[in-house]
Amino acid sequence: MKIKTLVSCMTLASLLFASTAFAGSKATITMQSFGKTKEGVDTALYSLTNANGVKTDITNYGGIVVRLFVPDREGNMGDVVLGYNTVAEYILDTPYFGALIGRIGNRVADGKFSLDGKTYHLVTNNFPADIPCHLHGGTVGYDKVVWDAEPFIENNTPGLKLHYLSIDGEEGYPGNLDITVWYRLTNDNSLKIDYLATTDKATPVNLTNHSYFNLKGEGNGDILGHVMKFNAANYTPVNAGLIPTGEIASVKGTPFDFTSPHTIGERVNSSNEQMKFGGGYDHNWVLDNQDGDLALAATAFESTSGRFMEVWTEEPGVQFYVGNFLDGSIIGKSGKPYNFRNGFCLETQHYPDSPNQADFPSIILKPGEEYTTTTIYRFGTR
């Protein structure tokens, strides 16, 4: 009820904003080729521009958000997400820049889980501290497939509908999972992502988006000065293999406490054992909101540009990863290297290793049920 009021206020505010300051501006969508996959499948790049001139480029390869231009406090547009200019580069090597992630976002211990008395073996494609696990859906996750795409404009809001059928047995998962994702670039300068999935066999599902943000603009250095605040009093500590121990631990007195604002850099090199395991922040925060309604999870503010970003989600958790594996070997869209900690991710999600953790909220979707979840990245300046 409370949340509903909030959402309608946001919508009302955005309508007023659109009709007063930008009367007459029209949302637009254009489309161009984004090149072919190795198998020769055509991919496309859709440019969505909202009534304020805020623009995002999204490809149906992996559902990747390739560019996202939002204004700074002077009104200058800057691209605040990391990525590449061509599909070939995404295919060759990507740390999941901007992509849709599934069937299970994040890690599954040893790539194994049991469901209805049967043990399933998933691909192990990640080895923190030499301990194998399944990460982000496996070798060919949803970030590496071509989705069916349908651009649309409704209520002067541009959007892109993406559809993918993940077949029974794909990457070891049970059941045909029919997935639809809607991206919308709304006129309150939000990138809104709605997910829907249905299955014909019980299966774990944990979908997310893996955008790397830098509110100074991609390629403009590290993210250590960003000021973060999370509505999360707890997090899930991990072992050396980055698998949760099962404990829901208080953030109080730790570098994980962002209940009041702190820069990323302030405690990122702390000698806290958890920070050593992650090589910095690479953990799941347990959001205070656990009722499945849309709520504010996190904010990030960057003072030189004046840009801020809010993350709203219906999910119970968020993985905060600060680009600890970026090392300058990747050259980004503007020809500049992405060095250590040059981007951060806020991956809204259920907790890592959920299928093996009886006390975590379940991610099992059954036939006849609908998996739906919404995440919003909203941008502004101050």
Quote the least distance from Cβ 25 to ligand GLA, whole Å: 36
Quote the least distance from Cβ 141 to ligand GLA, whole Å: 11
Does the protein bind ligand GLA through residue 143 (CB under 6 A)? no
Binding mask 231-270 for ligand GLA (x = CB under 6 A): ----------------------------------------
Does the protein bind ligand GLA through residue 325 (CB under 6 A)? yes
Between 56 and 348, CB nearer to ligand GLA: 348
**What is the rounded distance in angstroms from the CA atom of residue 127 to the CA atom of residue 313?**
29
Quote the least distance from Cβ 21 to ligand GLA, whole Å: 37
Do you find a cis peptide bond into 378, omega within 30 degrees of 0?
A: no
**What is the rounded distance in angstroms from the CA atom of residue 251 to the CA atom of residue 100?**
29
Between 160 and 345, CB nearer to ligand GLA: 345
Q: Which of residues 334-363 bind ligand GLA (CB under 6 A)?
A: 345, 347
Q: What are the distances in angstroms from CA 264 to CA 70, 255, 330?
A: 21, 9, 22
For strand 234-236 and strand 282-286, is the pairing parallel, antiparallel, or unpaired?
Answer: antiparallel
Q: Which is the catalytic residue, given 170, 218, 302, 347?
A: 347
What are the tokens at 278?
A: 């992650």
Quote the least distance from Cβ 325 to ligand GLA, whole Å: 5
Element (H or E) spanning 284, and its range?
Answer: strand 282-286
Quote the least distance from Cβ 5 to ligand GLA, whole Å: 33
In this structure, what are the phi and psi dihedrals at residue 368, rounded to the nearest 5 degrees?
90, -15
Between 175 and 323, CB nearer to ligand GLA: 323
Between 279 and 361, CB nearer to ligand GLA: 279
Amino acid identity of residue 202, one-letter, is A
Closest C-alpha among 108, 114, 156, 152 to residue 132: 108
Q: Which is the catalytic residue, given 134, 136, 210, 283?
A: 210
Does the protein bind ligand GLA through residue 188 (CB under 6 A)? no
Closest C-alpha among 276, 287, 284, 257 to residue 324: 276
Does the protein bind ligand GLA through residue 96 (CB under 6 A)? yes
Quote the least distance from Cβ 340 to ligand GLA, whole Å: 12
- Interface residue with ligand GLA, options 282, 302, 315, 353 (CB under 6 A): 282
Between 11 and 126, CB nearer to ligand GLA: 126
Between 126 and 180, CB nearer to ligand GLA: 126
> Catalytic residue at 210?
yes
Burial label, 13 (beta-carbon count in 10 A; 0-12, 13-18, 19+): exposed
Quote the least distance from Cβ 66 to ligand GLA, whole Å: 17
Does the protein bind ligand GLA through residue 133 (CB under 6 A)? no
Binding mask 31-70 for ligand GLA (x = CB under 6 A): ----------------------------------------
Closest C-alpha among 165, 200, 174 to residue 116: 174
Task: Count the residues of the shown chain that bind ligand GLA, applying the rule CB under 6 A.
Answer: 9
Does the protein bind ligand GLA through residue 95 (CB under 6 A)? yes
Q: Which of residues 287-306 bind ligand GLA (CB under 6 A)?
A: none
Quote the least distance from Cβ 291 to ligand GLA, whole Å: 25
| Strand ranges inside 175-281, DSSP E | 177-185, 190-199, 203-204, 208-209, 227-230, 234-236, 249-250, 262-263
**How many degrees, rounded to 5, is the angle at CA 25 between CA 299 and CA 153?**
75
What are the tokens at 48?
A: 């969505």
Between 46 and 277, CB nearer to ligand GLA: 277
Q: Residue 361's Cα: distance from chain center in Å?
A: 19
Strand order in the sheet with 55-59: 28-36, 42-49, 55-59, 65-71, 77-79
269 Cβ partners below 8 Å, 6+ apart? 275, 280
Does the protein bind ligand GLA through residue 127 (CB under 6 A)? no
Q: Which residues are catalytic, by number?
A: 210, 347
Binding site for ligand GLA (CB under 6 A): 95-96, 135, 282, 319, 321, 325, 345, 347
